[in-house]
Chains A and B, each alone.
Chain A
Amino acid sequence: MALDLNFQHRVKARLISIAHTVTLFIAMSIICIPGLWIVLNSFRPTVDIMAKPPVWIPRDLNLDNYYAMFGGAGEGGVPVLQYFTNSLIISVTSTLIALLIGMAGGYAFARYRFKGKNAIFIGLLLTRAVPGVALSLPLFIVMAKTGLIDTHIGLIMVYVAMNVPFTIWLIDGFFRQIPPDLAEAAEIDGCTRWQAFWKVEFPVAKAGVASAGIFAFLTSWNEYALASQLTRSTFSKTMPVGLRDFTSEFTINWGGMCALAVLMIIPALVLTFLVQKHLIAGLTFGGVKG
């Protein structure tokens, strides 16, 4: 009797374990296949992509799409290199500025008590809730009037503003994790408040600040809704906007788009892996411990 019962439970556990593995496999496939499909197609010639019936086993993998992209002489001649440079300049600059502003703000929220603190904090975060397209209309008009449209500076300003609230949120969380008596000890050890911050609190929070920075970078790197309206020419277009250059009225250069997509995804991939641990810690901490 007891043996039976044990046997039943063993079988049940076995079945659950199999179901678990199968479900997990399916879920992971759905997550991975779309991305891999893009990568694969970036190496395939257009003929293969368009083939009917479809070609499943890759016949001819080559780097033609990438040559075309950087040669600037591919179909439609999309100046990818220029877009890449624009994206890099705009993302890096806006990230650095957003970090400086965000660090000051995050520190203020973590360390000082003042009236209306919560209201200001929520107000800051709510600016993030404004949909990009709703913001882009007035921004478009204002920027057109001030001549900032189609410039690096214009887009940098926009991205700084976009990133500051979230950066403040993350950095506030990281500074809260540092006990205030560390800075106090530094002050008693002879530091000014300024020295106490740079010599003690900043080094301790460094990893957190770095991940906030990477988060800001990725937001700028990937942003489309605003960039698509505020940039007009190759002089300031970023890569997400450039992706549309591969689409003409009736045809789409799938291979070229896939190659550009891969180019966009690589920095994002590398950076996200670098900070994934801190990022999760930062997000949950900022939220749970408030």
Chain B
Amino acid sequence: MRRKKIPTWFVLIFPALVILAAVVLVPLLFSLYSSFTPYKLTRPDTLFKWIGTFNYQKAINSAVFWAAFGRTVLLLTIALNLEMLLGLGLALLVSRVTRGQRALRTLMMFPMMFSPILVGFQFKFIFNDNVGLVNNALQSLGLTNEAIPWLVDKNLAMFSIIFAEMWSSTSVFAILILAGLFAIPQDPLEAAKVDGCTPWQTFRHITLPFLMPFIYIALAIRSLDVARAYDIVQIMTNGGPARRTELLWTLIGRTGYVDAKMGYANAMGYISIVMAIFFTIFFFRKLNAARSELGMAG
């Protein structure tokens, strides 16, 4: 009586698998292959010449590549950590407010609505050495007479990029951590107060452990789209001037599209993919660990 048929769950997830295979997996396999060839867009026949790990060796031996790699890791580390700390601070600030808290929370979501490209453009405008808000303000206040080259100077440009990146993403942390703050059961907090904990001790030993899963969710979500930074950088400086703000992603884009060296660009692309996946898995593991510590593992 019982017919052997395809299980329902498979039918349900099949479309998802198909579209992802078509748009992500197949192109990625193709790019994996092409990273072992000297493929140039302008010369299609180069696709069939196997050169082994030449592109990878070239990348590993390239100072430009390592500079971009180092800058990318630096940017991610600084930005993610600062965003987390500032987000935590912002969430704590807002959680203390009693009147008008809803309005503040809404304001806090403001930067989340800006697409990265808009963020990039907005800060390109604001940090513009000639007509930008920052320089105008500094000059009007009489703090300086010069036009500070925010986007040209090597260190200032990195600072500007990190600032823009943080502006756009700190509120993601703040919102999620705030949700965590509201979910904390009151009993342990009150018990800690009665047991004589100082506010700092209460925060350190009760609030923070409880918030950790929320912080890791935020980190995991953020690391899923770290490459958003590409849009910002591309607009603000496009890796320039003279590669002073070159990140892996802008380097890949330039090598692939401008120089048309697809094989080489794909090889570098793979390195950045591995890096992104590493970050994501890292934070998901942390999330699971923090969850099981609180007995919330599912």
Contact = CB atoms under 8 A, between A and B. Distances in A.
A125 interface: yes
Contacts of B143: none
B273 A158 contact: no
Interface residues of B, number: 101
A183 B179 CA distance: 29
A226 B184 CA distance: 40
Interface residues of A, number: 91
B13 A109 contact: yes
B179 A280 contact: yes
B151 interface: no
A204 interface: no
A138 B107 contact: no
Given A30-B167, A105-B12, A287-B287, A133 B230 contact: yes
Contact of A101 (B16, B96, B230, B270): B16
Given A134-B269, A284-B179, A53 B112 contact: no
B249 A131 contact: yes
A128 B224 contact: yes
Contacts of A135: 24, 27-28, 269
Nearest to A159: B23
B252 interface: yes
A127 B250 CA distance: 20
Contacts of A102: 16
B256 A137 contact: yes
Interface stretch (A2-10, A71-79, A184-192, A262-270): A262-270
A90 interface: no
B24 A104 contact: no
A125 to B, nearest CB: 7
Contact of B230 (A114, A225, A244): A225
Interface in A248-270: 254, 257-258, 261, 264-265, 268-269
B283 to A, nearest CB: 10
A89 interface: no
Contacts of B13: 104-105, 108-109, 120
Nearest to A162: B23
Contact of B176 (A23, A126, A225, A283): A283
Contacts of B253: 133, 136
18 contacts: A34-B126, A49-B131, A50-B130, A101-B16, A107-B12, A114-B9, A127-B25, A135-B24, A139-B27, A161-B20, A165-B16, A193-B8, A218-B113, A225-B249, A258-B125, A284-B217, A288-B217, A290-B288
8 interchain residue pairs of minimum CB distance = A222-B115, A131-B227, A287-B217, A161-B23, A134-B269, A138-B27, A138-B31, A108-B12
Interface of A: 20, 23-24, 27-28, 30-35, 37-38, 41, 49-50, 52-54, 56, 100-102, 104-105, 107-109, 112, 114, 120, 122, 124-142, 157-158, 160-162, 164-166, 168, 193, 218, 221-225, 228-229, 240, 243-244, 254, 257-258, 261, 264-265, 268-269, 272-273, 276, 280-281, 283-284, 287-290
